[in-house]
Amino acid sequence: MGDVVEANYERWLASEEVDAADKDALRKMGKEERDDAFFRDIEFGTAGMRGIIGPGTNRMNSFTVKKATIAFGEYLLKKYPDAASRGVVISHDNRHFSREFTLECARLLNEEGLKAYIFDSLRPTPELSYAVRYLKAVGGIMITASHNPKQYNGYKVYDDTGCQLVPSKIKPLLDIIASLPDELIVKPISAVAKGETVQLDEEIDDAYVKDVLSVQINPDLLKKGFKIIYTPQHGTSYENAMRVFETCGYEVIPVMSQCTHDPDFSGTLSPNPEMAEAYIEPLKLAKQYNANLIVMTDPDGDRCGVAYLSSKGTYERFTGNQSGALLLDYVLHERKRLGLLSDDGVLYDTIVTSDLGRKIAKSYGLRVESFLTGFKYIGERIHHYEELGKGPHFEFGYEESYGCLIKPFVRDKDGIQAILLYCEMALWYFRQGIPLDVAFENLEKRFGYHEAFTESVEFAGSEGASEMKAIMDELHANPPKEVMRIKVVEVQDYEGGVITKEDGSSEKTSLPKAEVVKLLLEDGSWIAIRPSGTEPKCKFYVEALGTNKEGLHERAVALSKALRRSLGVK
């Protein structure tokens, strides 16, 4: 590995393509930083290409973006005979170099003969998906690192349905990337007829917002006396969200210190709705105004976090599993009451999402399909049934990390749809005098208590990557027979594509191969282990079940610790 690092490092230092500032940054790198920047080429994971901004083969920079874009252009031209005229939509978030990367992508696609559509400034990920569909483009590029810290940026690619590329579709693209020269010398094949770059006007914004408004179920609920705190975490959703709130008549107090499109995220300690630090400023404002609800979108606007005024007079946060389950129950309950629930409905979730949502969906007569982590699998499944011309009717899709979709006019999770329905749901309960903690408690009384817990362990650099691989190899080869003396009754090995039962019998999984192992325990609890597709981390997902909530969180944490200890993970 050291030879690869040194060869890549020296190649960059010697290249005339690398400017003096980047070369200076390279010379200042310590051993660990150099190792992490050059031990591999930056990879496409569950959400595309994502990494730290800076010089290096394992970094987000103009060179790695260039190579990915040249490959994506070649891929589209091979796949779609009319790719040049239909074009590609490109959008971006608020991060450092996002606009520069967007303009570079457009230039490269034009050089290859493809039309490029760009917005006048940043737009959220769901609107990028929407625009691809609206314009009938052949693909899309979203420059974003989602909820990652400020030093990151990223690159996501979409097909002509507005969905991120699933493994079966992305393989030809990866093959093209592998066949190209290195990132410093690769050049686009220059088309005879160059493409043009078209700047989009407000037509897309207006159409998208109009469709978002259509997700409401009870739009006429009285809004007076119900206060909402909203923050976009410096990201892309502010303009669209405020339009939606104003049109619907909600009383919204935005966290103005987090409404600027600041690439340094100076008004927040974390832009990630999963982290408690993201709620510090919104909580201050909620207490000042005695607000009923806090909603936030992450920087690229595809995820939504929720906090609320509880029955105890305190502000509490929902996990993505909890908020998703409560919203799912509200949506299905109200659609059923109004005669809008399909007789052949389906819920889509992921294999690491809480079992609670599946139980709720089945109680309303829905079927459930669970996929690997990544909303692209849900988007692809919606398209599959559309193309088939028959199949279950989409009712709801969600995952544990605060992403959900109410109506599939986009093919990715949609934070604006989510905040609108979370506000409606909270208002509906408010009008009945039911705080959201009581509403969720009532839900668990119906379906049992579920404590879902996620823990991330960092594995930085080439040594970390090797260590993480060794842990997963051990799980594949020798999965534990028990955890905390609770018997493992089923091992779902998605890399091997095999589900093995306690009695030794086995069957093939129905999902694509992926580096995930899920252990089902005798008491109904489960643990899933998955290396992150976007960060150098391994994630441990745990769900503990019980007849009451007392000690359940501690039990979930203990299960995670016990498994990590058995694997030698600190």
- What are the catalytic residues? 146
Question: Taking Cα atoms as reference points, which of 440, 455, 376, 456 lies closest to residue 411?
Answer: 376
Q: Report the C-alpha gap between 488 and 480 in whole angstroms.
A: 7
- Alpha-carbon gap, residue 462 to 40, rounded angstroms: 8
Beta bridge partners of 506: 500
- Round to whole Å and give the CA distance between 49 and 26: 22
Cα 190-198-204 angle, rounded to 5 deg: 140
The two three-digit tokens of residue 196, written as one number: 């043009």
Which of 141, 139, 154 is CA-nearest to residue 45? 154
DSSP β-ladder status, 367-371 and 345-350? parallel
* Alpha-carbon gap, residue 512 to 514, rounded angstroms: 6
Please say whether the beta carbons of 512 and 427 come within 8 A.
no
SS3 220: coil
Residues 461, 35: Cα–Cα separation, whole Å: 6
For residue 312, the Cα-to-chain-centroid distance in whole angstroms is 32
Rounded-to-integer distance, Cα 470 and Cα 389, Å: 44
Which DSSP symbol is given to 60? B
570 residue type, one letter = K
DSSP structure class, residue 256 = G
> What's the CA gap between 150 and 270, in Å, rounded?
9
Angle between the N-to-C axes of helices 2-14 and 20-27, in degrees from 0 to 180, rounded to the nearest 10: 150
Rounded to whole angstroms, the Cα distance separating 233 from 266 reads: 10
For the CA atoms of 90, 95, 97, 99, the dihedral, rounded to the nearest 10 degrees, stands at: 40
- Please give the Cα distance from 142 to 18 (Å, whole number): 25
